[in-house]
Amino acid sequence: MVTFDQKLIEKLNEWQPGGWPVGNLLACIIALVLCVILVGIVGIERERRGRSAGLRTHLLVGVGSTIIMIISIYGFPSVFSEKRDVARLAAQVITGVGFLGAGAIMHRESGVKGLTTAGTIWVSMAIGVACGSFNFLLAIAGTLLIFFILTGFRKVETRIARKNPTISLVSNSEVPVLEGILKVSEEFDCKVSGISTSNVEGSDSIQVTFQVLFEEGGDRLDEYLTELGKVTKAKNVHLLSHK
């Protein structure tokens, strides 16, 4: 099956005024410019959210992936054309950017941070590979879908998280924290699961992490957290996040 993008590249490859492959150069320029525009959309969204990996990071990943794909297609002598596999470099890019994305993930007391940013770094690579392999329509459609996921699904994610949140609280070890959690949860008609406890180093405090499932939804979550803090005499109560 021949796609629109392939037909466009075929026409550009045939354009060689004076024997010079100007069409190939133009195709590479289009791929790079399109990558900057599309990956820039994703990078700006992360930049506006104040994430550590912002516009420049995403652009570097996207443009780098595009360049590698172009090298994979055009960057080797034609004498090796029957022996080389243009997908080999793409496979190495996927692996390398995977490690880069893992570096954006951090685990803190407030939860796991950077998962979404790590995902956007990875998809920026995918957009770059699509542009570098001259699948322009796929890159455009993919970027629009990614942007919709990042912006349109935020409210849906928040609503789901409020119905089944993961909570962490720190209280004095002498306080019957577990008893207090179960008591408050019973009053609010919600179920508790996945309870884990750990001593806070250098103090006489205990940290308790658990998950709550509200039967009637998460409309009373703020009230639940306030009452939980009072009953357990908690020094700190907060929701764990993975954004």
Contacts for 162 with CB less than 8 Å, ≥ 6 apart: 214, 217, 218, 219, 221
Distance of CA 45 to the CA centre of its chain: 11
Q: In this structure, are residues 236 and 169 in contact, taking their beta carbons and an 8 Å threshold?
A: yes
- In a shared domain, residues 220 and 137: no
Q: Which helix (H) or strand (E) holds 108?
A: strand 106-108
Any domain includes 157: no
| Same domain as 76, residue 19 | yes
Does residue 194 form part of some domain?
A: yes
Considering the domain architecture, whether residues 199 and 120 belong to the same structural domain is answered as no
Q: What is the DSSP string of 180-199?
A: HHHHHHHHTTEEEEEEEEEE
- On whether both 124 and 54 belong to a single domain, the answer is yes
- Residue 8 sits in the same domain as residue 108: yes
CA 161 to CA 152: how far, in whole Å?
Answer: 15
Note the pLDDT of residue 128.
95
For residue 110, what pLDDT is reported?
47
Domain range for 25: 4-152
Tell me what pLDDT residue 21 has.
81
Give one DSSP letter per residue of 16-82, joined into a string: -GGG--HHHHHHHHHHHHHHHHHHHHHHHHHHHTT-SS-HHHHHHHHHHHHHHHHHHHHSS-GGGTT
Segments in the chain below pLDDT 70: 1, 52, 76-84, 104-113, 216-218, 241-243
Instruction: Determine, yes or no, domain membership for 72.
Output: yes
Q: Are residues 35 and 127 in the same domain?
A: yes
Domain boundary among 131, 152, 173: 152
Is 221 a domain residue?
A: yes
Which pLDDT score, from 0 to 100, does residue 12 have?
Answer: 86
Helix (H, G, I), strand (E, B) or coil at 233: coil
We report the CATH number of the domain holding residue 188 as 3.30.70.260
* Whether residue 10 is found in the same domain as residue 38: yes
- The pLDDT of residue 216 is 67
On whether both 56 and 140 belong to a single domain, the answer is yes
49 and 113 share a domain?
yes
Q: Give CA–CA dist 68/197, Å, rounded.
A: 48
Could you tell me if residue 158 is inside a domain? Answer: no
In this predicted model, what pLDDT tens digit does every residue of 207-230 receive, in sequence order? 888 888 887 655 788 888 888 888
Residue 188 lies in a domain: yes
Asked if 37 and 147 sit in the same domain, the reply is yes
Residue where a domain terminates, one of 109, 128, 152? 152
Structural domain count of the chain: 2
Which uninterrupted H or E stretch holds 159? helix 154-163
Q: Are the CB atoms for 38 and 143 separated by under 8 Å?
A: yes
